[in-house]
Amino acid sequence: MSRAAQATVDLSALQANLRVARQAAPGRRVMAVIKSDGYGHGLTHVARALSGHAEALAVTDATEAEALRGAGFRERIVLLQGPFRVEDLERAAAADLELVIHTHWQVEALAQARLASPVTVWVKVDSGMHRLGFPPEEVQAVWRRLTEAPGVRADVGFLTHLACADDRGNLATERQLATFEAACDGLPGPRSAANSAGVLGWPASHYDWVRPGIMLYGASPFVDGRAGHPALQPAMAFRGQVVAVRHLQAGDAVGYGATWRCPESMPVGVISVGYGDGYPRHAPSGTPVEVAGRRTQLVGRISMDLLAVDLRGLEGVTEGDPAILWGGVVRAEEVADACGTIAYELFCRMPPRVRREPVDTGAS
């Protein structure tokens, strides 16, 4: 019998969250970001949910894109980091993939390539994040060089990435947008800047294409949590079960290092999930957990395959009862806040041994 540790992925919740993006950015085309194995939700599960609902899918590299093509997905697929080597250009042409170009060797490789069919490219503009992209003063020359390349389709696009859009009080986003617009001024082609925070919080960033990511999975993109966007529905429920109920005495220690002791005689539940399943080892006592449909909290350190919870006030809990680490009455953002991280990391760190099971709850 396999361990009771799995993640159910609600396909209808993904679709509902995409509708929230469309409502926030009416009339714009949607490039749904499903990189990093669909933010840990399962690449093909997410693509299946969004196929026919988004105009394009965005992934990290050709390996993810070819997996989608092999699974039968025919949507536009954009490689957000473009080619990593010259040979990737032929792979992109063969699979009809679009490339984000952010460095000069990629431009020169395209200029010299003789591809079986031309590719669509997006020029990445470094508008202030200073991670990838061309400095604004180089964008016009890069565009000219690409439009002269026989392996590049005429409709070259432009995109940038917003560094501080998750903070709605930070004016860096306005400065980035002004820089982006100046860099592309007078050039034809579609524009894209809005990530999830841009979609929901910065209408001026919507341009022609929006690129929702974390919001598709039901988590808020903002540093101030869900405020103002209650329509987002968690797409993942990370599930385990109670494998033991211990009746302990006041002063009994729980877990490695004896870092937590029972303040009184009390029941403690042991759950079939640990850091080997991607649950953060540094999650502190007090981090919320759902057991048998009710909220409780962690006690003691997380083990590789197990964690312990406080069962005081949860009468009737017994072995075999369900536990939901996040995605039920406890949201991933709450766990992330308790652990000093973000929901993105919780989703993406989950290893393959946690089964992803697609479900369709018919979420509206």
> Which CATH number characterizes residue 264's domain?
2.40.37.10
Query: 39, 256, 275, 279: which one is catalytic?
Result: 256
Q: What residues contact residue 361 under an 8 Å CB cut-off, 6+ apart?
A: 10, 12, 13
Output the domain CATH number for residue 45: 3.20.20.10
- How many domains, in total, are found in the chain? 2
| Domain around 330 | 236-359
The answer on 196 and 271 residing in a single domain is: no
Query: 35, 124, 217, 279: which one is catalytic?
Result: 35
The answer on 45 and 177 residing in a single domain is: yes
Please identify, among 217, 250, 270, the residue that sits at the C-terminal boundary of a domain: 217
Alpha-carbon span 215 to 238, nearest angstrom:
17
In the chain, the percentage of residues whose pLDDT exceeds 90 is 95
Predicted pLDDT at 227: 47
In a domain, 226, yes or no: no
The answer on 259 and 204 residing in a single domain is: no
Please indicate whether residue 124 is annotated as part of the active site. Answer: no
In a domain, 175, yes or no: yes
Q: Which long-range contacts (CB under 8 A, 24 or more apart) does 195-199 make?
A: 195/33, 195/161, 195/162, 195/165, 195/221, 196/21, 196/221, 197/162, 197/165, 197/166, 197/168, 197/221, 197/222, 198/162, 198/165, 198/173, 199/21, 199/24, 199/25
The answer on 319 and 201 residing in a single domain is: no
Predicted pLDDT at 216: 98
Q: Which residues of the chain have pLDDT under 50?
A: 227-228
Please identify, among 160, 187, 217, the residue that sits at the C-terminal boundary of a domain: 217
In a domain, 227, yes or no: no
Joined together, the tokens standing for residue 325 give 């680490």
